[in-house]
Amino acid sequence: MGKIVGGFLVPHDPVMFVVPDAPAEDIRKRMWGAFDTCAERLAALDATSVVIIGADHYFNFGTGCLPQYIIGTGDVDGPLDVLPGLKRQIIPTSEKLAGFIADHGHANGFDWAVARAFTVDHAVAIPDRLIVDPVRARGQSIGTIPVYIAAGVDPFIKMKRAIELGGAIKAAVEAMPDDERVVVIGSGGISHWVGTPEMGKVNEAFDQEIMDYACTGNLAAIGGLSDDYILENGGNGGMEIRQWAVAMGAMPGARGEIIDYAPVREWVTGLGFVQLFA
């Protein structure tokens, strides 16, 4: 039987790769180091699979098809949007579990779209490269399962549905006959404005509010945030707290701990790192 053994809530900031030296030295060391800490802690969880929840940035999907949520059930590579220091590569997968999650959802009210051969963008590729790959390099075999939700392009997935989707992932993992040890990674946020006149603004108060909900496992509070409130206080990029909501929904009742946080204007984002404990 499968089990969710832990979770992480992390940013996927491409600007870290484009202008790595822009922030003050202590800040950039802390932020890159926070990814290293996540990798260390992931290694200690002895995971067999990670489910990384990202959001499309209008790269993967165009106006012809905008899925509310989609899971990669076959081959995976990425990123689609190659960055300095982040070249495209094949990403190890957990195809059996991914297919099981999709099938279990289809039988229980969650009509997953599936990607059989998926080139993910930086939303999944960054945490996979910075958190999971270092653990693989130690000899642990971990497959990545990419999930994308509609947080960057409207119509946005409802917050309530994002939490429910996390519950569907949990239910599927626990129904899996194999002894999978699964870690969920909510990849996104926190406050940032992408391509808007406010780009570069960071709202530390909003970031602290969201991290507080994550650390206290307050699904009702995060699920109760309106889109207008999130857009006003967290920006269009702040809609990515939906990925955090999915991960939190997969671990109801879990408490969290802030690994690190900094509002980094040079990287246009409030970068928060939280570990969720099963």
From CA 151, how far away is CA 61, in angstroms rounded?
A: 12
Return the residue of 27, 41, 77, 81 that touches another protein, per CB under 8 A.
81
With beta carbons less than 8 A apart as the criterion, state whether 264 and 202 touch: yes
Q: Which stretch binds another protein (CB under 8 A): 34-42, 52-60, 247-255, 270-278?
A: 52-60
**Which residue from 90, 48, 51, 89 is spatially nearest to 70, judged by alpha carbons?**
51
Report, in Å, the least distance between residue 129 CB and another protein.
16
Q: Does 28 bind another protein (CB under 8 A)?
A: no
From CA 121, how far away is CA 119, in angstroms rounded?
A: 7
From CA 145, how far away is CA 95, in angstroms rounded?
A: 8
Applying the rule CB under 8 A, the residues between 138 and 157 that interact with another protein are 152-154
Q: Which stretch binds another protein (CB under 8 A): 25-33, 103-111, 156-164, 260-268?
A: 260-268
Q: What angle do CA 38, 39, 45 make, to 5 degrees?
A: 90
Beta strands in the chain (DSSP E): 3-10, 49-55, 69-78, 89-91, 113-119, 143-149, 181-187, 255-264, 269-277
Beta bridge partners of 148: 54, 70
Q: Based on the number of CB atoms within 10 Å of its own CB, is 155 exposed (0-12), middle (13-18) or buried (19 or more)?
A: exposed
Give the ranges where 146-263 is alpha helix by DSSP (H).
Answer: 159-175, 204-216, 219-223, 227-234, 241-249
CA distances from 252 to 117, 187, 214, 249 (A): 31, 18, 11, 5
Return the residue of 27, 171, 175, 194 that touches another protein, per CB under 8 A.
194
Q: Does 231 bind another protein (CB under 8 A)?
A: no
Closer residue to another protein in complex, CB, 154/232 = 154
Return the residue of 6, 11, 14, 166 that touches another protein, per CB under 8 A.
14
Contact pattern from residue 163 through residue 192 relative to another protein, giving x for each residue in contact according to CB under 8 A and a dash for the rest: -----------------------------x
Report, in Å, the least distance between residue 262 CB and another protein.
14
Report, in Å, the least distance between residue 81 CB and another protein.
6
Count residues near another protein (CB under 8 A).
28
Closer residue to another protein in complex, CB, 143/272 = 272
Q: Which stretch binds another protein (CB under 8 A): 15-23, 99-107, 223-231, 243-251?
A: 15-23
Residue numbers of the site for another protein (CB under 8 A)? Answer: 14-15, 18-19, 57-59, 62-64, 81, 83, 152-154, 192, 194-197, 199-200, 236-237, 265-268
